[in-house]
A and B are shown apart, each in its own frame.
Chain A
Amino acid sequence: MSELTLPHAEERPTGTRLEARSTPAARKKVSRGLLSSLPVLVVLLLGFLAPLATVAAYAFATPRTFDVFRSFTLINFETIFDPANTVWMSFAWSLGFAAATVVVLAIVAYPIAWGLARVFGRWAGFVSVLFVFPLFVSENVRLYGWTLFFIKNGVLDGTLKLLGGAGPEVLYTPGITLFGMVYVYLPFMLFPMVLGLAMVPKELVEAARDLGASRLMIWREVELPLAMPGIMIGMLLTFVLAVGAVAESKILGGQSVIVATHDIEIAFTYAQNWPLGSALALILTIIVGALSLIALTKLDLDRILGRR
Protein backbone atom coordinates (compact mmCIF):
# COMPACT_ATOMS: atom_id res chain seq x y z
CA MET A 1 0.00 0.00 0.00
CA SER A 2 3.00 2.24 -0.07
CA GLU A 3 2.63 5.08 -2.46
CA LEU A 4 5.40 6.10 -4.73
CA THR A 5 5.50 9.83 -5.29
CA LEU A 6 7.86 11.09 -7.89
CA PRO A 7 8.68 14.78 -8.06
CA HIS A 8 6.68 16.51 -10.74
CA ALA A 9 8.68 17.55 -13.73
CA GLU A 10 8.49 21.28 -14.27
CA GLU A 11 5.86 22.20 -16.80
CA ARG A 12 7.65 23.44 -19.80
CA PRO A 13 6.78 26.74 -21.37
CA THR A 14 5.59 26.44 -24.96
CA GLY A 15 7.58 29.23 -26.58
CA THR A 16 10.76 27.99 -28.26
CA ARG A 17 12.93 30.83 -27.02
CA LEU A 18 11.69 30.41 -23.51
CA GLU A 19 12.16 26.69 -23.73
CA ALA A 20 15.72 27.05 -24.86
CA ARG A 21 16.44 29.30 -21.90
CA SER A 22 14.64 27.40 -19.17
CA THR A 23 15.44 23.83 -20.12
CA PRO A 24 18.79 23.57 -18.34
CA ALA A 25 17.27 24.97 -15.16
CA ALA A 26 14.30 22.62 -15.40
CA ARG A 27 16.55 19.63 -16.02
CA LYS A 28 18.65 20.60 -13.05
CA LYS A 29 15.57 20.70 -10.81
CA VAL A 30 14.34 17.30 -11.95
CA SER A 31 17.70 15.69 -11.46
CA ARG A 32 18.05 17.20 -8.01
CA GLY A 33 14.63 15.92 -7.02
CA LEU A 34 15.40 12.48 -8.38
CA LEU A 35 18.73 12.49 -6.62
CA SER A 36 17.27 13.25 -3.23
CA SER A 37 14.56 10.59 -3.64
CA LEU A 38 17.06 8.00 -4.84
CA PRO A 39 17.70 6.33 -1.45
CA VAL A 40 13.98 5.89 -0.86
CA LEU A 41 13.50 4.64 -4.41
CA VAL A 42 16.25 2.04 -4.02
CA VAL A 43 14.87 0.83 -0.69
CA LEU A 44 11.37 0.61 -2.12
CA LEU A 45 12.50 -1.20 -5.26
CA LEU A 46 14.73 -3.69 -3.47
CA GLY A 47 12.82 -4.09 -0.25
CA PHE A 48 9.24 -3.90 -1.43
CA LEU A 49 8.78 -4.33 -5.14
CA ALA A 50 11.44 -7.00 -5.78
CA PRO A 51 10.16 -9.55 -3.19
CA LEU A 52 6.61 -8.94 -4.39
CA ALA A 53 7.65 -9.54 -7.99
CA THR A 54 9.52 -12.69 -6.95
CA VAL A 55 6.48 -14.05 -5.13
CA ALA A 56 4.34 -13.25 -8.16
CA ALA A 57 6.83 -15.02 -10.40
CA TYR A 58 6.97 -18.06 -8.12
CA ALA A 59 3.19 -18.34 -8.33
CA PHE A 60 3.56 -19.29 -11.98
CA ALA A 61 6.46 -21.75 -11.50
CA THR A 62 6.23 -25.55 -11.71
CA PRO A 63 4.96 -26.96 -8.38
CA ARG A 64 7.50 -28.30 -5.90
CA THR A 65 10.42 -26.78 -7.81
CA PHE A 66 12.45 -23.61 -7.55
CA ASP A 67 12.23 -23.00 -11.29
CA VAL A 68 11.27 -19.39 -10.85
CA PHE A 69 11.59 -17.22 -14.02
CA ARG A 70 12.30 -20.38 -16.06
CA SER A 71 8.87 -21.99 -16.15
CA PHE A 72 5.38 -20.63 -16.64
CA THR A 73 2.33 -22.62 -15.63
CA LEU A 74 -1.12 -21.96 -14.20
CA ILE A 75 -1.18 -25.33 -12.46
CA ASN A 76 -0.82 -23.81 -8.96
CA PHE A 77 -3.99 -21.82 -9.47
CA GLU A 78 -5.74 -24.84 -10.94
CA THR A 79 -4.88 -26.74 -7.76
CA ILE A 80 -6.24 -23.97 -5.60
CA PHE A 81 -9.47 -23.48 -7.54
CA ASP A 82 -10.07 -27.23 -7.91
CA PRO A 83 -13.51 -27.86 -6.31
CA ALA A 84 -12.04 -30.79 -4.39
CA ASN A 85 -9.55 -28.49 -2.68
CA THR A 86 -10.79 -27.05 0.60
CA VAL A 87 -8.19 -24.30 0.87
CA TRP A 88 -10.96 -21.74 0.26
CA MET A 89 -12.12 -22.51 3.79
CA SER A 90 -8.95 -21.10 5.27
CA PHE A 91 -9.46 -17.95 3.18
CA ALA A 92 -13.00 -17.74 4.46
CA TRP A 93 -11.80 -18.13 8.06
CA SER A 94 -9.10 -15.47 7.57
CA LEU A 95 -11.45 -12.93 6.03
CA GLY A 96 -14.18 -13.83 8.51
CA PHE A 97 -11.85 -13.44 11.49
CA ALA A 98 -10.57 -10.15 10.10
CA ALA A 99 -14.05 -8.78 9.51
CA ALA A 100 -15.22 -9.87 12.96
CA THR A 101 -12.08 -8.39 14.55
CA VAL A 102 -12.74 -5.05 12.85
CA VAL A 103 -16.38 -4.96 13.97
CA VAL A 104 -15.63 -5.97 17.58
CA LEU A 105 -12.69 -3.55 17.74
CA ALA A 106 -14.75 -0.66 16.36
CA ILE A 107 -17.31 -1.19 19.12
CA VAL A 108 -14.75 -1.79 21.88
CA ALA A 109 -12.31 0.95 20.90
CA TYR A 110 -14.82 3.77 20.28
CA PRO A 111 -15.66 4.49 23.93
CA ILE A 112 -11.99 4.29 24.91
CA ALA A 113 -11.00 6.58 22.04
CA TRP A 114 -13.75 9.01 22.99
CA GLY A 115 -12.48 9.02 26.53
CA LEU A 116 -8.91 9.63 25.39
CA ALA A 117 -9.92 12.46 23.05
CA ARG A 118 -12.52 14.16 25.24
CA VAL A 119 -12.68 13.06 28.85
CA PHE A 120 -9.37 11.91 30.31
CA GLY A 121 -7.66 15.26 29.81
CA ARG A 122 -4.19 15.19 31.29
CA TRP A 123 -4.55 11.49 32.12
CA ALA A 124 -4.91 10.68 28.41
CA GLY A 125 -1.14 10.32 28.00
CA PHE A 126 -0.93 7.83 30.87
CA VAL A 127 -3.87 5.78 29.57
CA SER A 128 -2.30 5.74 26.10
CA VAL A 129 0.93 4.37 27.53
CA LEU A 130 -1.05 1.58 29.23
CA PHE A 131 -2.41 0.59 25.83
CA VAL A 132 0.95 0.84 24.08
CA PHE A 133 2.89 -0.97 26.78
CA PRO A 134 1.91 -4.55 25.76
CA LEU A 135 3.44 -3.84 22.32
CA PHE A 136 6.87 -3.92 23.97
CA VAL A 137 6.38 -7.63 24.70
CA SER A 138 6.49 -10.15 21.86
CA GLU A 139 3.07 -11.08 20.53
CA ASN A 140 3.74 -14.81 20.93
CA VAL A 141 4.76 -14.38 24.56
CA ARG A 142 1.56 -12.47 25.27
CA LEU A 143 -0.53 -15.13 23.53
CA TYR A 144 1.14 -17.91 25.54
CA GLY A 145 0.33 -15.81 28.59
CA TRP A 146 -3.34 -15.95 27.67
CA THR A 147 -3.02 -19.70 27.07
CA LEU A 148 -1.71 -20.09 30.63
CA PHE A 149 -4.60 -17.96 31.82
CA PHE A 150 -7.31 -20.01 30.08
CA ILE A 151 -5.75 -23.53 30.11
CA LYS A 152 -7.13 -26.36 32.28
CA ASN A 153 -5.76 -25.88 35.80
CA GLY A 154 -4.38 -22.53 34.60
CA VAL A 155 -4.86 -19.13 36.21
CA LEU A 156 -8.61 -18.87 35.64
CA ASP A 157 -9.59 -22.54 35.88
CA GLY A 158 -7.28 -23.19 38.85
CA THR A 159 -8.56 -20.22 40.82
CA LEU A 160 -12.18 -21.13 40.13
CA LYS A 161 -11.48 -24.74 41.16
CA LEU A 162 -10.09 -23.54 44.49
CA LEU A 163 -13.38 -21.73 44.96
CA GLY A 164 -15.28 -24.89 44.07
CA GLY A 165 -16.19 -24.03 40.49
CA ALA A 166 -14.69 -24.71 37.10
CA GLY A 167 -13.33 -22.45 34.34
CA PRO A 168 -15.03 -22.27 30.97
CA GLU A 169 -13.51 -24.45 28.28
CA VAL A 170 -12.74 -21.72 25.81
CA LEU A 171 -9.20 -22.52 24.77
CA TYR A 172 -8.60 -23.97 21.28
CA THR A 173 -11.82 -22.62 19.74
CA PRO A 174 -12.41 -20.09 16.95
CA GLY A 175 -13.92 -17.80 19.58
CA ILE A 176 -10.68 -17.53 21.56
CA THR A 177 -8.82 -16.89 18.30
CA LEU A 178 -11.05 -13.89 17.71
CA PHE A 179 -10.45 -12.78 21.30
CA GLY A 180 -6.68 -12.99 20.69
CA MET A 181 -6.94 -10.90 17.53
CA VAL A 182 -9.06 -8.26 19.21
CA TYR A 183 -6.59 -8.13 22.07
CA VAL A 184 -3.49 -7.92 19.86
CA TYR A 185 -4.82 -5.34 17.40
CA LEU A 186 -6.63 -3.02 19.81
CA PRO A 187 -3.94 -0.29 19.73
CA PHE A 188 -4.01 -0.23 15.94
CA MET A 189 -7.71 0.61 15.99
CA LEU A 190 -7.57 2.81 19.06
CA PHE A 191 -5.00 5.41 18.08
CA PRO A 192 -6.24 6.28 14.58
CA MET A 193 -9.69 6.54 16.15
CA VAL A 194 -8.42 8.93 18.85
CA LEU A 195 -6.84 11.00 16.09
CA GLY A 196 -10.11 11.01 14.16
CA LEU A 197 -12.12 12.08 17.20
CA ALA A 198 -9.56 14.68 18.19
CA MET A 199 -9.97 16.24 14.75
CA VAL A 200 -13.63 17.04 15.42
CA PRO A 201 -13.56 20.68 16.54
CA LYS A 202 -15.15 21.09 19.95
CA GLU A 203 -16.95 24.19 18.72
CA LEU A 204 -18.87 22.20 16.12
CA VAL A 205 -20.25 19.99 18.88
CA GLU A 206 -21.08 23.09 20.91
CA ALA A 207 -22.73 24.70 17.91
CA ALA A 208 -24.84 21.61 17.24
CA ARG A 209 -25.93 21.53 20.88
CA ASP A 210 -26.72 25.24 20.75
CA LEU A 211 -28.94 24.59 17.74
CA GLY A 212 -30.97 22.15 19.80
CA ALA A 213 -29.42 18.82 18.84
CA SER A 214 -29.60 15.89 21.25
CA ARG A 215 -26.53 13.82 22.10
CA LEU A 216 -27.53 11.09 19.65
CA MET A 217 -28.13 13.68 16.93
CA ILE A 218 -24.75 15.31 17.58
CA TRP A 219 -23.06 11.92 17.41
CA ARG A 220 -24.81 10.90 14.19
CA GLU A 221 -24.71 14.23 12.38
CA VAL A 222 -21.44 15.76 13.50
CA GLU A 223 -19.07 13.62 15.53
CA LEU A 224 -19.21 10.33 13.65
CA PRO A 225 -18.96 11.71 10.08
CA LEU A 226 -16.12 14.01 11.02
CA ALA A 227 -14.21 11.31 12.92
CA MET A 228 -14.83 8.81 10.10
CA PRO A 229 -11.47 9.23 8.35
CA GLY A 230 -9.62 8.22 11.51
CA ILE A 231 -12.03 5.37 12.17
CA MET A 232 -11.66 4.14 8.58
CA ILE A 233 -7.88 4.16 8.85
CA GLY A 234 -8.08 2.14 12.06
CA MET A 235 -10.46 -0.32 10.40
CA LEU A 236 -8.24 -0.66 7.34
CA LEU A 237 -5.12 -1.14 9.43
CA THR A 238 -6.65 -3.77 11.71
CA PHE A 239 -8.30 -5.56 8.79
CA VAL A 240 -5.05 -5.89 6.87
CA LEU A 241 -3.17 -6.99 9.99
CA ALA A 242 -5.88 -9.47 11.01
CA VAL A 243 -6.06 -11.08 7.57
CA GLY A 244 -2.36 -11.78 7.84
CA ALA A 245 -2.56 -13.02 11.45
CA VAL A 246 -1.46 -16.58 12.15
CA ALA A 247 -0.17 -16.75 15.75
CA GLU A 248 -3.62 -16.32 17.35
CA SER A 249 -5.15 -19.32 15.58
CA LYS A 250 -2.07 -21.45 16.16
CA ILE A 251 -1.41 -20.63 19.83
CA LEU A 252 -4.82 -19.74 21.28
CA GLY A 253 -6.95 -21.50 18.66
CA GLY A 254 -4.77 -24.61 18.84
CA GLN A 255 -5.20 -25.08 15.08
CA SER A 256 -8.87 -25.81 15.59
CA VAL A 257 -9.25 -23.89 12.35
CA ILE A 258 -6.56 -23.22 9.76
CA VAL A 259 -6.32 -19.66 8.45
CA ALA A 260 -4.99 -18.67 5.01
CA THR A 261 -1.64 -17.45 6.27
CA HIS A 262 -1.19 -20.77 8.06
CA ASP A 263 -1.80 -22.60 4.78
CA ILE A 264 0.76 -20.38 3.08
CA GLU A 265 3.27 -21.06 5.84
CA ILE A 266 2.71 -24.81 5.54
CA ALA A 267 3.26 -24.65 1.77
CA PHE A 268 6.52 -22.78 2.19
CA THR A 269 7.90 -24.85 5.07
CA TYR A 270 6.52 -28.34 5.73
CA ALA A 271 5.33 -29.01 2.15
CA GLN A 272 8.31 -27.30 0.48
CA ASN A 273 5.97 -26.20 -2.31
CA TRP A 274 7.01 -22.59 -2.81
CA PRO A 275 5.06 -22.09 -6.05
CA LEU A 276 1.79 -23.15 -4.39
CA GLY A 277 2.51 -20.97 -1.35
CA SER A 278 3.27 -18.03 -3.65
CA ALA A 279 0.03 -18.55 -5.57
CA LEU A 280 -1.92 -18.56 -2.29
CA ALA A 281 -0.05 -15.45 -1.11
CA LEU A 282 -0.74 -13.69 -4.40
CA ILE A 283 -4.47 -14.41 -4.19
CA LEU A 284 -4.60 -13.17 -0.60
CA THR A 285 -2.67 -10.03 -1.56
CA ILE A 286 -5.08 -9.32 -4.41
CA ILE A 287 -8.16 -9.79 -2.22
CA VAL A 288 -6.80 -7.59 0.58
CA GLY A 289 -5.45 -5.04 -1.90
CA ALA A 290 -8.80 -4.78 -3.67
CA LEU A 291 -10.73 -4.38 -0.41
CA SER A 292 -8.26 -1.76 0.84
CA LEU A 293 -8.48 0.18 -2.41
CA ILE A 294 -12.26 0.29 -2.17
CA ALA A 295 -11.98 1.59 1.40
CA LEU A 296 -9.31 4.13 0.41
CA THR A 297 -11.45 5.62 -2.35
CA LYS A 298 -14.02 6.39 0.35
CA LEU A 299 -11.38 8.10 2.47
CA ASP A 300 -10.67 11.77 2.15
CA LEU A 301 -6.95 11.84 2.84
CA ASP A 302 -6.75 15.59 2.31
CA ARG A 303 -9.06 16.18 5.22
CA ILE A 304 -7.10 13.79 7.45
CA LEU A 305 -3.90 15.62 6.71
CA GLY A 306 -5.66 18.92 7.43
CA ARG A 307 -5.24 20.32 3.96
CA ARG A 308 -8.86 21.31 3.80
Chain B
Amino acid sequence: MGRIVEYYRADSIEDAVATARRLGSSAAYVGGGVELVLRRNPEVSTLIDLSQCGLGEILEVEDGIEVGSQVTLAAISRSAVLKCYAGGSLALWSGRIAQNNLRNMITVGGSIGRNQPWNDLVPHLIALGAEVRFFDGAEHRTPLVSYIDAKRTGTVIEGIVLPSGNANAKGFMWRFTATQQDISLLHCSALIDVAGDVVRKASIVFAGRPGHAALYPQLGQELMEGGGSQDAFESLARSAMQAVEVGTDHRATAEYRRDLVRAAIISLGDWMTGDTQ
Protein backbone atom coordinates (compact mmCIF):
# COMPACT_ATOMS: atom_id res chain seq x y z
CA MET B 1 0.00 0.00 0.00
CA GLY B 2 0.98 3.66 -0.05
CA ARG B 3 2.57 5.96 2.41
CA ILE B 4 -0.31 7.85 3.94
CA VAL B 5 0.79 9.66 7.07
CA GLU B 6 -1.92 12.21 7.63
CA TYR B 7 -5.69 12.28 7.58
CA TYR B 8 -6.82 15.87 7.52
CA ARG B 9 -10.41 16.88 8.18
CA ALA B 10 -11.06 20.11 6.37
CA ASP B 11 -13.67 22.25 8.09
CA SER B 12 -14.45 24.34 5.02
CA ILE B 13 -13.78 24.31 1.30
CA GLU B 14 -11.40 27.25 1.77
CA ASP B 15 -9.44 25.19 4.28
CA ALA B 16 -9.47 22.18 1.93
CA VAL B 17 -8.19 24.12 -1.07
CA ALA B 18 -5.53 25.88 0.98
CA THR B 19 -4.29 22.56 2.33
CA ALA B 20 -4.35 20.90 -1.07
CA ARG B 21 -2.39 23.84 -2.57
CA ARG B 22 0.19 23.70 0.19
CA LEU B 23 0.80 19.97 -0.20
CA GLY B 24 0.56 19.69 -3.99
CA SER B 25 0.50 16.22 -5.46
CA SER B 26 1.09 14.53 -2.10
CA ALA B 27 -2.46 15.40 -1.04
CA ALA B 28 -5.69 13.86 -2.25
CA TYR B 29 -9.33 14.26 -1.38
CA VAL B 30 -10.61 11.17 0.31
CA GLY B 31 -13.83 9.31 -0.02
CA GLY B 32 -16.25 8.73 -2.79
CA GLY B 33 -15.26 5.16 -3.57
CA VAL B 34 -11.70 5.92 -4.65
CA GLU B 35 -10.08 4.76 -1.41
CA LEU B 36 -8.28 1.81 -2.91
CA VAL B 37 -6.70 3.98 -5.60
CA LEU B 38 -5.44 6.34 -2.93
CA ARG B 39 -4.03 3.57 -0.76
CA ARG B 40 -2.18 2.13 -3.73
CA ASN B 41 -0.79 5.48 -4.86
CA PRO B 42 2.73 5.86 -3.41
CA GLU B 43 2.67 9.62 -4.07
CA VAL B 44 -0.19 10.37 -1.71
CA SER B 45 0.78 11.08 1.88
CA THR B 46 -2.10 13.24 3.08
CA LEU B 47 -5.79 12.60 2.77
CA ILE B 48 -8.14 15.53 2.93
CA ASP B 49 -11.61 14.67 4.18
CA LEU B 50 -14.38 16.91 2.89
CA SER B 51 -17.20 15.41 4.88
CA GLN B 52 -17.37 18.39 7.27
CA CYS B 53 -17.60 20.95 4.47
CA GLY B 54 -21.34 20.90 4.03
CA LEU B 55 -21.37 19.36 0.58
CA GLY B 56 -23.82 16.57 1.30
CA GLU B 57 -27.14 18.09 0.25
CA ILE B 58 -29.50 17.77 -2.69
CA LEU B 59 -31.17 21.15 -3.15
CA GLU B 60 -33.57 22.71 -5.60
CA VAL B 61 -31.92 25.93 -6.73
CA GLU B 62 -33.05 28.70 -9.01
CA ASP B 63 -31.94 27.16 -12.28
CA GLY B 64 -31.99 23.48 -11.45
CA ILE B 65 -31.10 20.92 -8.85
CA GLU B 66 -27.81 21.06 -7.05
CA VAL B 67 -26.30 17.79 -5.88
CA GLY B 68 -23.45 18.22 -3.41
CA SER B 69 -20.20 16.49 -4.18
CA GLN B 70 -20.37 14.36 -1.05
CA VAL B 71 -23.79 12.96 -1.94
CA THR B 72 -23.64 9.20 -2.46
CA LEU B 73 -25.23 7.11 -5.18
CA ALA B 74 -27.55 5.63 -2.58
CA ALA B 75 -28.67 9.11 -1.52
CA ILE B 76 -29.34 10.06 -5.14
CA SER B 77 -31.39 6.90 -5.61
CA ARG B 78 -33.58 7.80 -2.64
CA SER B 79 -34.04 11.47 -3.52
CA ALA B 80 -37.67 12.35 -4.21
CA VAL B 81 -36.57 15.37 -6.23
CA LEU B 82 -34.26 13.38 -8.45
CA LYS B 83 -36.80 10.60 -8.93
CA CYS B 84 -38.84 13.22 -10.78
CA TYR B 85 -35.96 14.68 -12.77
CA ALA B 86 -35.63 13.75 -16.45
CA GLY B 87 -37.80 10.71 -16.07
CA GLY B 88 -35.92 9.68 -12.94
CA SER B 89 -33.08 8.05 -14.85
CA LEU B 90 -30.35 9.35 -12.57
CA ALA B 91 -32.12 8.17 -9.42
CA LEU B 92 -32.99 4.82 -10.99
CA TRP B 93 -29.51 3.99 -12.20
CA SER B 94 -27.74 5.38 -9.14
CA GLY B 95 -29.53 2.66 -7.24
CA ARG B 96 -28.40 -0.05 -9.63
CA ILE B 97 -24.85 0.61 -10.72
CA ALA B 98 -21.94 -0.71 -8.62
CA GLN B 99 -23.20 -2.65 -5.60
CA ASN B 100 -25.02 -1.93 -2.37
CA ASN B 101 -22.07 -1.37 -0.04
CA LEU B 102 -20.33 0.85 -2.59
CA ARG B 103 -23.46 2.80 -3.47
CA ASN B 104 -23.21 4.16 0.06
CA MET B 105 -19.58 5.17 -0.53
CA ILE B 106 -19.34 6.37 -4.11
CA THR B 107 -20.02 10.09 -4.33
CA VAL B 108 -20.64 12.55 -7.11
CA GLY B 109 -17.37 14.30 -6.32
CA GLY B 110 -15.37 11.10 -6.16
CA SER B 111 -16.77 9.91 -9.47
CA ILE B 112 -16.00 13.17 -11.26
CA GLY B 113 -12.65 13.67 -9.59
CA ARG B 114 -11.42 10.22 -10.46
CA ASN B 115 -13.36 9.91 -13.73
CA GLN B 116 -12.56 6.27 -14.43
CA PRO B 117 -13.27 5.47 -18.08
CA TRP B 118 -15.79 2.84 -17.07
CA ASN B 119 -17.58 5.03 -14.56
CA ASP B 120 -21.33 4.95 -15.19
CA LEU B 121 -22.28 8.12 -13.33
CA VAL B 122 -20.12 10.63 -15.17
CA PRO B 123 -21.39 9.87 -18.70
CA HIS B 124 -24.97 10.06 -17.52
CA LEU B 125 -24.37 13.42 -15.87
CA ILE B 126 -22.75 14.63 -19.08
CA ALA B 127 -25.80 13.54 -21.06
CA LEU B 128 -28.04 15.36 -18.60
CA GLY B 129 -26.03 18.53 -19.25
CA ALA B 130 -24.75 18.81 -15.70
CA GLU B 131 -22.54 21.70 -14.72
CA VAL B 132 -19.86 21.51 -12.07
CA ARG B 133 -19.60 24.01 -9.23
CA PHE B 134 -16.07 24.12 -7.97
CA PHE B 135 -13.87 26.22 -5.78
CA ASP B 136 -10.20 27.02 -6.26
CA GLY B 137 -10.13 30.12 -4.09
CA ALA B 138 -12.98 31.53 -6.10
CA GLU B 139 -16.33 30.07 -7.09
CA HIS B 140 -16.66 28.68 -10.60
CA ARG B 141 -19.29 26.93 -12.59
CA THR B 142 -18.61 25.14 -15.84
CA PRO B 143 -20.12 22.35 -17.92
CA LEU B 144 -19.03 18.92 -16.70
CA VAL B 145 -17.50 18.04 -20.08
CA SER B 146 -15.18 21.02 -20.02
CA TYR B 147 -14.36 20.51 -16.34
CA ILE B 148 -13.12 17.00 -17.07
CA ASP B 149 -11.24 18.04 -20.20
CA ALA B 150 -9.41 20.70 -18.20
CA LYS B 151 -8.12 18.07 -15.74
CA ARG B 152 -8.03 20.56 -12.87
CA THR B 153 -6.14 19.68 -9.73
CA GLY B 154 -6.33 21.19 -6.29
CA THR B 155 -9.85 22.44 -6.79
CA VAL B 156 -12.72 21.28 -4.61
CA ILE B 157 -15.78 20.07 -6.45
CA GLU B 158 -18.69 21.52 -4.50
CA GLY B 159 -21.33 19.78 -6.50
CA ILE B 160 -23.13 19.57 -9.77
CA VAL B 161 -26.13 21.47 -11.05
CA LEU B 162 -28.66 19.65 -13.15
CA PRO B 163 -30.32 22.24 -15.41
CA SER B 164 -34.01 22.88 -14.95
CA GLY B 165 -34.42 23.01 -18.74
CA ASN B 166 -34.61 19.24 -18.80
CA ALA B 167 -38.03 19.09 -17.21
CA ASN B 168 -39.65 17.52 -20.27
CA ALA B 169 -36.70 15.46 -21.36
CA LYS B 170 -35.93 11.92 -20.37
CA GLY B 171 -32.64 10.33 -19.46
CA PHE B 172 -31.60 7.00 -20.93
CA MET B 173 -28.86 4.65 -19.84
CA TRP B 174 -27.65 1.47 -21.49
CA ARG B 175 -24.70 -0.30 -20.01
CA PHE B 176 -23.24 -3.56 -21.10
CA THR B 177 -21.57 -5.63 -18.40
CA ALA B 178 -20.49 -9.24 -17.91
CA THR B 179 -22.57 -9.50 -14.73
CA GLN B 180 -24.96 -7.09 -13.06
CA GLN B 181 -22.42 -5.62 -10.69
CA ASP B 182 -19.62 -5.47 -13.24
CA ILE B 183 -18.24 -2.31 -14.77
CA SER B 184 -19.30 -1.38 -18.28
CA LEU B 185 -17.71 -2.86 -21.35
CA LEU B 186 -19.58 -0.10 -23.07
CA HIS B 187 -21.81 2.59 -21.68
CA CYS B 188 -24.28 4.80 -23.51
CA SER B 189 -26.24 7.58 -21.88
CA ALA B 190 -28.61 9.95 -23.55
CA LEU B 191 -30.98 12.77 -22.83
CA ILE B 192 -33.86 12.98 -25.23
CA ASP B 193 -36.61 15.59 -25.44
CA VAL B 194 -39.46 14.52 -27.67
CA ALA B 195 -42.62 16.47 -28.43
CA GLY B 196 -44.99 14.50 -30.60
CA ASP B 197 -42.94 13.27 -33.55
CA VAL B 198 -40.28 15.91 -33.10
CA VAL B 199 -37.05 15.27 -31.28
CA ARG B 200 -36.30 18.67 -29.81
CA LYS B 201 -33.11 17.77 -28.06
CA ALA B 202 -30.78 14.78 -28.01
CA SER B 203 -27.45 14.38 -26.24
CA ILE B 204 -25.65 11.09 -26.68
CA VAL B 205 -22.65 10.04 -24.63
CA PHE B 206 -20.50 6.92 -24.87
CA ALA B 207 -18.06 5.67 -22.25
CA GLY B 208 -16.13 2.55 -21.37
CA ARG B 209 -15.01 2.42 -25.00
CA PRO B 210 -12.58 1.66 -23.15
CA GLY B 211 -11.82 5.39 -23.19
CA HIS B 212 -13.37 8.11 -21.04
CA ALA B 213 -16.87 9.43 -21.42
CA ALA B 214 -17.34 11.53 -24.54
CA LEU B 215 -20.30 13.50 -25.87
CA TYR B 216 -21.13 12.96 -29.55
CA PRO B 217 -23.05 16.07 -30.65
CA GLN B 218 -23.19 14.92 -34.28
CA LEU B 219 -25.12 11.81 -33.23
CA GLY B 220 -27.57 13.91 -31.27
CA GLN B 221 -27.96 16.16 -34.30
CA GLU B 222 -28.59 13.19 -36.59
CA LEU B 223 -31.20 11.84 -34.20
CA MET B 224 -33.03 15.17 -34.17
CA GLU B 225 -33.01 15.30 -37.94
CA GLY B 226 -33.75 11.67 -38.62
CA GLY B 227 -37.05 11.17 -36.83
CA GLY B 228 -38.02 8.02 -34.99
CA SER B 229 -38.38 5.33 -37.64
CA GLN B 230 -36.61 2.01 -37.34
CA ASP B 231 -34.61 2.88 -40.46
CA ALA B 232 -33.53 6.11 -38.85
CA PHE B 233 -32.11 4.28 -35.87
CA GLU B 234 -30.37 1.74 -38.10
CA SER B 235 -28.80 4.65 -39.92
CA LEU B 236 -27.92 6.36 -36.66
CA ALA B 237 -26.39 3.09 -35.45
CA ARG B 238 -24.17 2.98 -38.55
CA SER B 239 -23.07 6.55 -37.95
CA ALA B 240 -22.37 5.78 -34.30
CA MET B 241 -20.27 2.76 -35.24
CA GLN B 242 -18.20 5.14 -37.38
CA ALA B 243 -18.08 7.99 -34.92
CA VAL B 244 -17.48 6.39 -31.54
CA GLU B 245 -13.82 5.67 -30.99
CA VAL B 246 -13.52 2.18 -29.53
CA GLY B 247 -10.50 0.19 -28.50
CA THR B 248 -9.38 -3.19 -27.28
CA ASP B 249 -8.57 -4.07 -23.69
CA HIS B 250 -8.58 -7.31 -21.74
CA ARG B 251 -12.36 -7.23 -21.48
CA ALA B 252 -13.37 -6.80 -25.11
CA THR B 253 -12.04 -6.14 -28.58
CA ALA B 254 -12.67 -2.94 -30.49
CA GLU B 255 -14.62 -4.94 -33.07
CA TYR B 256 -16.99 -6.23 -30.43
CA ARG B 257 -17.35 -2.81 -28.85
CA ARG B 258 -18.46 -1.54 -32.24
CA ASP B 259 -21.24 -4.16 -32.14
CA LEU B 260 -22.16 -2.86 -28.73
CA VAL B 261 -22.31 0.72 -30.00
CA ARG B 262 -24.88 -0.46 -32.50
CA ALA B 263 -26.75 -2.39 -29.82
CA ALA B 264 -26.85 0.73 -27.64
CA ILE B 265 -28.38 2.84 -30.41
CA ILE B 266 -30.93 0.19 -31.34
CA SER B 267 -31.86 -0.07 -27.66
CA LEU B 268 -32.18 3.70 -27.52
CA GLY B 269 -34.56 3.45 -30.46
CA ASP B 270 -36.57 0.69 -28.77
CA TRP B 271 -36.76 2.80 -25.66
CA MET B 272 -37.88 5.91 -27.54
CA THR B 273 -40.51 3.99 -29.43
CA GLY B 274 -41.70 2.48 -26.18
CA ASP B 275 -40.59 -1.09 -26.82
CA THR B 276 -38.24 -1.53 -23.92
CA GLN B 277 -35.72 0.18 -21.74
| A associates with B | no
Residues of chain B whose beta carbon lies under 8 Å from any beta carbon of chain A = none
Residues of chain A whose beta carbon lies under 8 Å from any beta carbon of chain B = none
